[in-house]
Structure 1
């Protein structure tokens, strides 16, 4: 959101950033009050309506409205006369957990006619009541014709994600695909002879990221050093089970992480869930760092076609080792060039600004067409 705000501002557009924090949801009473209002907060409706009447924006672009802003914000913005755009950063509108994953496996049960499985399986933080509350919010949006009409364009981050949202009930004609981008211009890539950091994993140390299977597989590859950067709920398990040639750095500052990424032979991306549009993939491409990626979800759409040769199934024990063998047999410099070319072709700030303008123009045209037929 911050990157898009700055991009629009620097391009000469007048942008007002409105943020509402979830940090003050601390007491049991706060949580009950939030859960009660989650399907449509009248307070937020009035606040957004008044703000729009005062500022009179052409477009209201909403990012994360869970749990405080609620679907009432879209209705208020639409009734004020603004065109409304909603970015879909995760799968919360389809799934109580926002991951489309349960028990370590992909789950699309709630894309069908009923969302009751989310309550039965306590998909939101292991809570029946929490899952019920989130389901109420999802229903207040996707099952509500007025809410659907209120949003003039939804932004999906990938074509893969768009397909899922259509399957979940959003109108295909109102879905616009715009990936993430890097706000800065990358420096020239580091050549092969300066790539002294071996393989690298950068991300959250958690089940859905595939870190446990990565370590189990890499323990059997002692000739390939691996640097792991990040923290998370499986950090202690990683420390207890990683072989000596695997170095766990913990969380590092962004600049240091980027330096290591730029000096890595390849990035490992063993994610077990669909993902949205991971920034780490764009950062690797910008650095000219090849990526060995999971064949689950969005990675194949974001990475160069050349990388498909060594994509792998993260759920199969020997798949990663086989992918490494295939990768090592290929021309590294050609792969590095393909990575940077992919970034330059798709993920720069200038390209993203152009896509954003197309999306906004489509949203305004949609809003005007609705007004003409009302």
Structure 2
């Protein structure tokens, strides 16, 4: 088999909250097609909820645990496309894990990329009230309902909690291979009870946009979602202590946008630019002394960190989860103690003079591990491994 036929399954996030996950799906799809593989899509868009009738809107949370209509639509799509393999990314909220049953019925092997921790945590973050939370791991997700972990609402949390409870075994029995996007994520999921034999590490890749830093950079940069778990409040506290001698630029949108904008407006060395498109984001990265990613939750990857490395720009990151895996402290960037503003302030003060050397090393690591060439090789190898295992399994069944 030379070229593969792949059916990609993804529920796209709301456009008002841009998602790195959507970007990964788009980039993998384009990469496979450019390499000559046939890729078809089975998609739903969360933006469509806004235009639904009131009755349909009411039905959305009821169908989060299991959507029979999505199962039937998925089965029809499989019959039309006849893929070699199905690659699932996100099924929430308009598909549900019912799409896995369609694959089982059609006898098509499934791989799934795990972009977060939804296999063991209803909200996928392992984060609550400013710190790491494992209250629901390996047990009933009732704590998530009690604390209103999804959107701050117990009622809104019920559907995602029920989905986790009802579908955990469906995922584990229906998916031939899960792609974890970092070794740190894989280790966490294995420790949480997921079958180790189903989990493989496949980093996200980042296209080389050609925007390389010239000189030492003009500012420190935060680029991403403006949310508490991303460490924005930690960064603001650390900045007032650090005063590193270069400005701070903050770009993005999210729940803390108004708070961040007000804080920035009171400081001459901070500039808040709001949500930017990808081209503007790449330009901001290419003129940065360093990118700052102070997440207080355990990131499963760090797309902005790898994008910075591609531009020859180092990162200052929290020393846990995937961020500590992506940044070698003192080699390709600096790490700080998670949740510690004094440690982050010290890293912000130190990074400027080290930036040229750290940035060159970050670029070298990008070339070795995160380019599209490497990403395509690992993605196709993962598909072929699953298909090979499926042939062996079917052969064994035929002999019986």
**TM-score, structure 1 normalization:** 0.92
Q: 1:110 to 1:370 in 2, by over 3 A?
A: farther
* Cα RMSD (Å): 2.1
CA distance in 2, matches of 1:356, 1:317: 38
SS in 1 for 2:305: helix
Corresponding residue of 2:122: 96
1:85 to 111, 116, 120: 111
2:76 to 50, 54, 60: 50
TM-superposed CA distance for 1:157, in Å, is 0.5
SS in 1 for 2:179: strand
Corresponding residue of 1:207: 228
Corresponding residue of 2:200: 176
TM-superposed CA distance for 1:203, in Å, is 1.3
CA distance in 1, matches of 2:37, 2:196: 28
CA distance in 2, matches of 1:312, 1:215: 15
TM-superposed CA distance for 1:260, in Å, is 2.1
Corresponding residue of 1:348: 371
Q: Point out the structure with the larger strand share.
A: 2
**Contact conserved, 1:306 with 1:338, CA < 8 A, in 2?**
no
User: Is the aligned partner of 1:368 residue 2:391?
Assistant: yes
Segments of 5+ residues of structure 2 without an aligned counterpart are: 1-24
**Contact conserved, 2:49 with 2:57, CA < 8 A, in 1?**
yes
Mean Cα deviation higher: 126-135 or 51-60: 126-135
Corresponding residue of 1:41: 67
Mean Cα deviation higher: 288-297 or 241-250: 241-250
Segments of 5+ residues of structure 1 without an aligned counterpart are: none
User: Is the aligned partner of 1:333 residue 2:356?
Assistant: yes
CA distance in 1, matches of 2:83, 2:107: 8
Corresponding residue of 1:110: 136
**Contact conserved, 1:158 with 1:178, CA < 8 A, in 2?**
yes
User: Is the aligned partner of 1:277 residue 2:301?
Assistant: yes
**Contact conserved, 1:261 with 1:289, CA < 8 A, in 2?**
yes
Q: 1:366 to 1:120 in 2, by over 3 A?
A: farther
**Contact conserved, 1:303 with 1:342, CA < 8 A, in 2?**
no
Corresponding residue of 2:261: 239
Post-superposition, which runs of at least 4 consecutive aligned residues in structure 1 deviate over 6 A? none
Residues 236-271 of structure 1 show CA distances to partners (whole Å, capped at 9, x for unaligned) of 222333321111112223222212211111111111
User: Is the aligned partner of 1:293 residue 2:314?
Assistant: no
User: Is the aligned partner of 1:134 residue 2:160?
Assistant: yes
Q: 1:127 to 1:354 in 2, by over 3 A?
A: same
